[in-house]
A and B are shown apart, each in its own frame.
Chain A
Amino acid sequence: MPDQTAPGNFDVAVIGGGMIGPALSLGLLERNLKVCILDEGDDVLRVARGNFGLVWFQGKGFGMPRYVEWTRRSATLYPEFAAELKEHTGVDVGHANPGGLELLLGEEELAHRQRYIGQIYQQGGGKEYEVEFLDRKQVEEMLPGVGLGEDVVGASYSPIDGHVNPLFLLRAMHTRFQQAGGTYLPHHRVSEVRKNGGAYDVVTEKGIVSAAKVVIAAGHGLRELGPPLGLDIPIRPQRGHILVTERTKQILPMPISSFRQTVEGSIMLGVSAEEAGYDDTINTGTVAKIAERAARTIPALRHLNIVRTWAALRVLTPDKCPVYAESETHPGIYAVASHSGVTLAAVNAKVASGWIAGDPAPEQFDAFGVERFDAQKTA
């Protein structure tokens, strides 16, 4: 990239080139807006590079029916979204939705899962919720040739669940963004956003970029950027570890929440949850724990070699549900932050982008504002 620095005038400046920023930007470009993405350099926290690649529905939205709807909507839009990316960029993002399983080890886990899923169903007020429970035999039929461990008692299953290659998705979105005329500016870490007449000055390490609207899709960067702009959103990092095996012949016909086989043949094993601040180093104990559960679930995995492990930091709100908010003090500045940015990429590109462009907010967004955190704080 040449040092393509300000002055630049854009309709929308999107801060963050991870999973959410590029998705929103694609939709903005479709409306013929002039868009730039301001991003950091190479060796930074970028969850878009460290996630599991699930397009996942079951279990999402506990305590928030609107999030259930929003996730379903994204999953439904995914095939079209992936096909468009492939058509324009030639990059196959490997999207598939063969349904997904959450394997349960022991009666206690099964009971817990039943309660949890049952509650999500009930909070929908009797509306259809596409998750069912399978017993061990039914699971075996769904996973021919996969020997299940003794402890597997059953699974929850949703036909809506699927997966994607998140890295190719990232590349495809970046490729499409530039094809469609967007300006990508890496090494442009934003330090602050200032009001300048009717527009905003976005101050970066390489100069100032001017834009009518600004979207903060900076993942963990929101923690610093948001508060001065009236977007004090209590996100926190939560560390998750992932293990990857060597390539092996295709054996898993569908993602199993904590395992999925990529099109290349490697099997990803996840996932842990640790409160470790902004530390993304590997905890060997956690790696062992993931391996132990994997071996209990599908014993044949024991033979595979682990070639890589990594840890990445989830962007979590207190209720684990997304934030889509416009600043009250700084109209035209938006914050979008969520865990499950991969799952939501399609709906971000197709629907949420319209809201930033000026369309009325989708009905779900009533639930995704920042006010809820004040309520949660006082509750």
Chain B
Amino acid sequence: MLRRRHNDGKVVKITIDGEAVDARAGESVAAAVLAHASGATRTTPVSGAPRASYCMMGVCFECLMEIDGEPNRQGCMVRVEEGMSVRRQQGARDMERAS
């Protein structure tokens, strides 16, 4: 689990798995999710193993999340935006975009 050292940043309201969460401007989606809860941020499509963000710089692809209905986006490479909806993924994605 992560914590913010200071809470004075501009609040950005997002939802994580439907729950309303206050993130801060400039944070990546992956950071906001890790600050919200510890543990897995997805399970793998191969064996269902729990995983979470590993590199935070876009090379490991462990932070894959559904962002605004679009699955398999790199949460560490996307900044939070007001009203964003984020979901942790379980296994393989659906072909259709969730809406």
Chain A hits for B45, CB < 8 A:
247, 265
Is B4 part of the binding interface, using a Cβ–Cβ cutoff of 8 Å? no
Interface-located stretch among A93-101, A205-213, A218-226, A298-306: A298-306
B66 to chain A, nearest CB (A): 11
The number of residues on chain B lying at the interface, defined by a beta carbon within 8 Å of a beta carbon of chain A, is 10
Q: A265-B45, A303-B97 are in contact. Are A249 and B70 (CB under 8 A)?
A: no
Chain B, 40-80, contact with A by CB distance < 8 Å: what is the 0/1 string?
00000110000000000000000000000010100000000
A368 to chain B, nearest CB (A): 41
Is A130 part of the binding interface, using a Cβ–Cβ cutoff of 8 Å? no
Is B96 part of the binding interface, using a Cβ–Cβ cutoff of 8 Å? yes
Contact in complex: B96, A303 (CB < 8 Å): yes
Closest A residue to B44 by CB, please name it.
A247
Contact in complex: A248, B97 (CB < 8 Å): no
Contact in complex: A301, B95 (CB < 8 Å): yes
B contacts with A: majority SS: loop
Contact in complex: A304, B95 (CB < 8 Å): yes
CB-contacts of A214-263 with B (<8 A): 246-249, 251
Closest A residue to B45 by CB, please name it.
A247
Chain B hits for A249, CB < 8 A:
92-95
A300 vs B96: C-alpha distance in the bound complex, in angstroms? 6
Contact in complex: B95, A246 (CB < 8 Å): no
Chain A hits for B96, CB < 8 A:
300, 303
A29 vs B65: C-alpha distance in the bound complex, in angstroms? 50
A188 vs B44: C-alpha distance in the bound complex, in angstroms? 40
CB within 8 A of B92: which of A247, A301, A305?
A247
Chain A hits for B72, CB < 8 A:
246, 305
Closest A residue to B73 by CB, please name it.
A305
CB-contacts of A87-141 with B (<8 A): none
Contact in complex: B70, A265 (CB < 8 Å): no
A45 to chain B, nearest CB (A): 29
B94 to chain A, nearest CB (A): 5
Closest B residue to A246 by CB, please name it.
B72
A371 vs B92: C-alpha distance in the bound complex, in angstroms? 52
Contact in complex: A303, B92 (CB < 8 Å): no
A253 to chain B, nearest CB (A): 13
A301 vs B94: C-alpha distance in the bound complex, in angstroms? 11
Contact in complex: A247, B93 (CB < 8 Å): yes
Chain B hits for A303, CB < 8 A:
70, 95-97
Chain A hits for B93, CB < 8 A:
246-249
Contact in complex: B92, A265 (CB < 8 Å): yes
Closest B residue to A261 by CB, please name it.
B95
B96 to chain A, nearest CB (A): 5
Chain A hits for B46, CB < 8 A:
264
Closest A residue to B97 by CB, please name it.
A303
6 cross-chain pairs, A with B, having the tightest CB-CB distances, nearest first = A247-B45, A247-B92, A303-B97, A248-B95, A265-B92, A251-B95
A-B contacts besides A265-B45, A305-B72, 20 pairs, CB < 8 Å: A246-B72, A247-B45, A247-B92, A248-B92, A248-B93, A248-B94, A248-B95, A249-B92, A249-B93, A249-B94, A249-B95, A251-B95, A264-B46, A265-B92, A300-B96, A301-B95, A303-B95, A303-B96, A303-B97, A304-B95
14 A-B residue contacts at CB 8 Å?
Answer: A246-B93, A247-B45, A248-B92, A248-B93, A248-B94, A248-B95, A251-B95, A265-B92, A300-B95, A300-B96, A301-B95, A303-B95, A303-B96, A304-B95
Q: Which residues of A contact B (CB under 8 A)?
A: 246-249, 251, 264-265, 300-301, 303-305
